[in-house]
Every structure is written in structure tokens, then in C-alpha cells.
Homo-oligomer: A and B are copies of this chain.
């Protein structure tokens, strides 16, 4: 499809949908979920065939995708996400009367979504970016991911059927197959495109970001580009529960062939017998985990290249390397390095996308702190500790706060819960805008901007800003949150 007419239609659809109610958009999101479920096992089988991931994984991913859509439906139905804010007039105020001011959030305009290869359902065609943008009232142009074209097409078909059923303009969602990068550039740079959502690699995200920067009009670009997700194993936890954590982490490192943006890629600990014991347990577990085919040959090639680059770096030792059982499989790898060598080689600070993790053995607390200093922004940071480690944790938390969007205590970073408090984001290069999350209800805020109405008569105001509160949404009236009428 030609880019210009597609974007113009998306902009027109955004304007048309502004005349529909939140309830109508909520119904659409639920219908999309129904249609996706209606695709049945064929969708799961297609996604599995295209991604080399097991069928059971797609039962979970489909459930998550549909749950996200229904979550946003409930959110927009309720209405508080529009942040309705009312400051009533004070005609007698001196020296000047205070006007009546009322504001709410409105959609920014058409959004281009680039889905991720590693989540063909939950972070792709009808994934979090699409769901949050449609919920916001923004038309979506979704670039089909070349790693799962049939899955993407099936999901796009479900969305298009839902649009028809709910009487929405078909251009409120477009499914677009790019022929080359020039087309992607032309799309991102189209004047009527008002935002971009991207999930994928650092190089891919930065290319999109650069296209956007070349525009005359700056637009929001939220690119989630992965992360090394450092884990800090504190001394008492290593002594007390080495077995538990070795088993837990062997599983977290290899789950989904390690193809998660929250895969734990770096394990920091203080050297000594306890760490040696933990490393031997973790290695043993990893040696017992079989390898599986990766998402696509490109991801596999990159995994092999990055892994070899890291293993070839001065001071890095391979602790557990499983030999490949077949073509394009991701064979789990555990590496070990000391803190000084880690700090000195920037290639060790970057993600190896796949079933890979590296233990960084530090001399002492200061040595460990110096390692954290060189880390870039992260989606997550994890602390493995016991209450006896509290003092260490207290000194680490302010540092981890500055590095990551989510801090996990005694757990694994994999598994991104869809809820209000989730933050799936973080300082660059984890994302291009740390002020937002890509997962959970608040992901919608990326695609909204405020508009205020000054001294506007009741009959001309949007319903949610009129004196009578139509949906009992929470509103800020003269500085107080309330569900009451004005």
C-alpha cells in the first residue's frame, strides 16, 4: 500500500473516532480480543511454526494479549485516564478574576507500531503498543514483522473484522508490509504520523529513532530496546540459598531460549567459596538444559556472534557450554569474568540476546559498586538477598533506582506482570524515553496530550468536563480528587 494515502486515511480515522465514545472504543478492544480468541488453535500453531517456540507458550501469550486489550477497555470505560481536571472560576478574585479552566487528555494522532519478533502476539500486531494506542483513540499503522508474517496477518484480520463489526473506520488500524528501509523511513517521517512505538533491538530502535529525529516536527518515539538486566547476589543469600537460586536462574536464563528483553545477562557477586559453589551448581543445571531452535536465523547468527565476541574478550572464561543439538539452536552459555576485566571492556556491558549469562566476580563491595557505575540504563535490576543483607541493599537501591525501571527483590526479572504498577521501561538505552512504561495501564499515557478549555459553556465541553460527572470517573476539581459533580 502506498504510504501517503495510508497515513492520510489513518489521520482521518483518528478524527472520526474522536466522535465516538470511550464506551464504543472499549467495545472495539473487547471485540478484537474475542476475534483473536476466535482464531482458535490455528493461530497458536502458526505462531509456533513461525517462531520455533512451543505451542503451550502461545496459550499464555494469547491470554496475555487478550487480557491487555480487555484491561485497556475497562480503563477507558472508567475515564480517569483522561485526567479530567476542573478549576472553577472566581469572578471576585483580585486583581483579576480567575477564569474557569477544564482540561483532559486527547489522542496525539496516528501511531506507527513496530512489533517484536520474540512475542509474536503480546508485543506485536495486537500487542501492548497497538492496544494502548487504539485505547487512546489513535489510529495504528502496524508494520508486519517479517519473522512471523502469517501470525501477524491473522491477528490483523481479527482486528479488521472487529473494526467492521463495531462500525469503526477500517483505517483505524492498518497492517503494512514494508518492502525496504526507505519505506520505513518515509512512513516514520510522514508529517501526519504523530508517534512511534517500537520493541526490538538497540540497532533497530536507534534507526527508527534517527528517522524520527530527521523530521521537521518532533514526535514521541517510545522504543524499548532491551537490556542486560543485572542481578546482584548478596553474600548472605549466596551462603543460605545457593541451590535454590542456581536452579531458579538456570531456568530464567534459558526460558524461551533466553529470548526475553528481561533475560538476566549479568550476575554480580563477591568472590569466594560461596560464589564458586553457586557457579558450579548453576553450570551443572545449565549443562542439563537442552537447546532449542531460536526465533529465526538472524537472531541465531547474532547470538553466536555476540557470544563469541564476549567469550573472546580478555579474562572471560566459559563455565558451561552445551554443544548445539541442531541447526540454529540457542545453546546455553555461562561465562565468568572478574570485575576489573568487566569494567575495562565495554562489549561485556551489552546484551547477548539468547540463553547467555555472565558471572562477574568482584573482590569486595567497592569493586561491585564500581561495576554498577559502568552499566548503562536497564529495564530491570535484581537483588538476591536475605534480611542480613539489608544494609547492602539500602546502599545499592539508590544506585539501582538511577539505572533501571524495575527493581526485583528475590526473584527473576523475566515475567512482566500486566498491571497498574508495572514499569516496563527505563533509562537509555533500555528505552528512548524513561518517563513512560510500555506495559500496564499507564502505557496509554504515551499517546495522549492535554487540552484545556477556558470559560467554555457546558453544552460545548466534552462530557467528562461538564459539571455533571457522566461516568463517575475520578476528577480533580479545584485541587481535590472526587467522583462528585461540580
Residues of A within 8 A of B (CB): 15, 18-19, 60, 80, 85-87, 95-96, 98-99, 101-103, 106, 108-109, 209, 213, 217-218, 220, 377, 387, 390, 393-394, 397-398, 401-402, 404-411, 415, 417, 419-423, 425, 427-429, 432-437, 442, 445-446, 448-457, 459-460, 474, 476, 479, 481
User: Which residues of the partner chain B approach A449 to less than 8 Å between Cβ atoms?
Assistant: 405, 425, 427, 434-436
Q: How far is the CA of A427 from the CA of B218 in the complex (A)?
A: 10
A96 to nearest B CB, angstroms?
7
Q: How far is the CA of A422 from the CA of B401 in the complex (A)?
A: 31
User: Which residues of the partner chain B approach A417 to less than 8 Å between Cβ atoms?
Assistant: 87, 98-99, 101
User: Which residues of the partner chain B approach A427 to less than 8 Å between Cβ atoms?
Assistant: 217, 449
User: Which residues of the partner chain B approach A419 to less than 8 Å between Cβ atoms?
Assistant: 87, 98, 101
**Complex A-B: 28 CB contacts under 8 Å:** A98-B417, A101-B419, A103-B421, A209-B218, A213-B213, A217-B428, A218-B428, A218-B432, A218-B433, A220-B433, A390-B460, A401-B451, A405-B449, A406-B452, A406-B454, A407-B451, A409-B453, A409-B457, A410-B455, A411-B454, A420-B476, A421-B452, A435-B445, A435-B446, A435-B449, A435-B450, A436-B450, A442-B450
Q: How far is the CA of A433 from the CA of B108 in the complex (A)?
A: 10
A65 to nearest B CB, angstroms?
16
Closest residue of chain B to A409, judged by CB?
Answer: B456
Q: Most chain-B Cβ atoms within 10 A of its Cβ — which of A209, A446, A457?
A: A457
Q: Is the CB of B423 within 8 A of A451?
A: yes
User: Which residues of the partner chain B approach A452 to less than 8 Å between Cβ atoms?
Assistant: 405-407, 421-423
Q: Is the CB of A398 within 8 A of B450?
A: no
Q: Is the CB of B86 within 8 A of A453?
A: no
Q: Most chain-B Cβ atoms within 10 A of its Cβ — which of A95, A406, A417, A421?
A: A421
Query: Can you name 18 extra interface pairs (CB under 8 A) apart from A397-B460, A442-B450, A474-B481?
Result: A85-B442, A86-B421, A96-B415, A98-B417, A98-B419, A99-B415, A218-B428, A218-B432, A387-B457, A394-B460, A404-B451, A405-B451, A406-B453, A408-B454, A409-B460, A421-B476, A435-B449, A435-B450
Q: Pick the contact of A435: B95, B108, B415 (CB < 8 A).
A: B108
Q: How far is the CA of A474 from the CA of B387 in the complex (A)?
A: 30
Q: Is the CB of A103 within 8 A of B218?
A: no
Q: Is the CB of B421 within 8 A of A85?
A: yes
A345 to nearest B CB, angstroms?
19
Closest residue of chain B to A406, judged by CB?
Answer: B452
A85 to nearest B CB, angstroms?
4
Q: Is the CB of A409 within 8 A of B450?
A: no
User: Which residues of the partner chain B approach A387 to less than 8 Å between Cβ atoms?
Assistant: 457
Closest residue of chain B to A478, judged by CB?
Answer: B420
